[in-house]
Amino acid sequence: MSDQSAQQGQTAVVSTAVRIAGEPPLDGAPEGAADDVPLVPAGPPARRRRTARFRRGRWVMLGFIAPALVVYLLMVIIPSLQSVQLSFTNWDGISDGYDYIGGRNYEEILGSGRFWNAVRNTLILGLGSAVIINAISLAVALMLDKVTHAQGLFRTAVYLPALVSAFIAATIWKYLLNYNFGSVNTLLRDMGLPDWARDWLGDSSIVVWVILFIACFTLGGNTTLIYLANLQSVPQELLEAARIDGANGRQVFRHVTWPMLAGAVTVNMTLAMIAGWTIFDQILVLTAGGPGFVSETMAFFIYKVGFGEYRAGFGSAAAVVLFLVVIVSTVAANAYMRKREIQA
């Protein structure tokens, strides 16, 4: 290449740089570099214009979310803060006035056997449903991932229970488990097993476990779909490489598939635990907390004492305790599972 061609090439490069950066040629630039190349605004005025546009866009976005934010503040945040205030009062939920009684509601809660029974049931339903739902949903998702024919039919069948509201599902199960004419006991008697017929919702020794079964039956559809979506996003190259290296199916799942599902496990466990902590519809429909107070959960306990026994201040204190339990347990579980997710 001649010296003239090289100089022309340098000139073109410098001219391009000037257009992009908006700065004059450096000292010592090749002769012929244009000093009057149109500049792209990149100085303080251009930055100010970009900042102004960004601010306008931010205000537009805020305008879109403002209606929902106002409703959320009025219907959730403010009442929640007010419940903290009411937890220090003896308000009955009806009267205009109330007296501040300090922490007596919390003292009564901590010394109440009924409350601790509700805590026990909540732990069983919250932790039990989270573990069982995730185990069953993962197994079902693994089977659905292997299906090659009629995939839509099987996925729809698995997800259908999740489309039914908890109230409707609990009503159906209430009739199925009725001691006298329920389908479950009728089937057992027809099969020659009358001794197996039980008062499933009236036996204090099994009623909580029956509710746990019903909760797991109705809450698994979404969990299964999340696992299935993550299974289908696992790179096939990793699976094929593991098989080529001699790994069997169990080893492939343990060392390749399972670590790739770490994020899905965190999400599903968190959602299932929150759903279990706050279970209410099934208790209201199936047992109303009975027999006696045996099957009460913390959520139903709050409803019962606040609205059924006209002790809104006491119920507000119980709601604050439930909120703390949900927050602490969820944060602790997330911290533990995030560590596993990082290791994966």
In this prediction, residues 212-235 reach a mean pLDDT of: 83
Backbone CA torsion sign across 253, 255, 256, 259 = positive
Q: How many other C-beta atoms can be found within 10 angstroms of the C-beta atom of residue 99?
A: 9
Lowest-confidence range among 15-19, 251-255, 269-273? 15-19
CB proximity list for 230: less than 8 A, separation 6 or greater: 260, 261, 263, 264
What string of DSSP letters covers 292-339? TTTT--HHHHHHIIIIIS--HHHHHHHHHHHHHHHHHHHHHHHHHHHH
pLDDT digits (tens, 9 = 90+) for 118-137: 988 988 888 888 888 889 88
In this prediction, residues 274-282 reach a mean pLDDT of: 84
Q: What is the pTM of this model?
A: 0.73
Backbone CA torsion sign across 337, 339, 340, 344 = positive
pLDDT digits (tens, 9 = 90+) for 3-19: 555 455 555 544 544 44
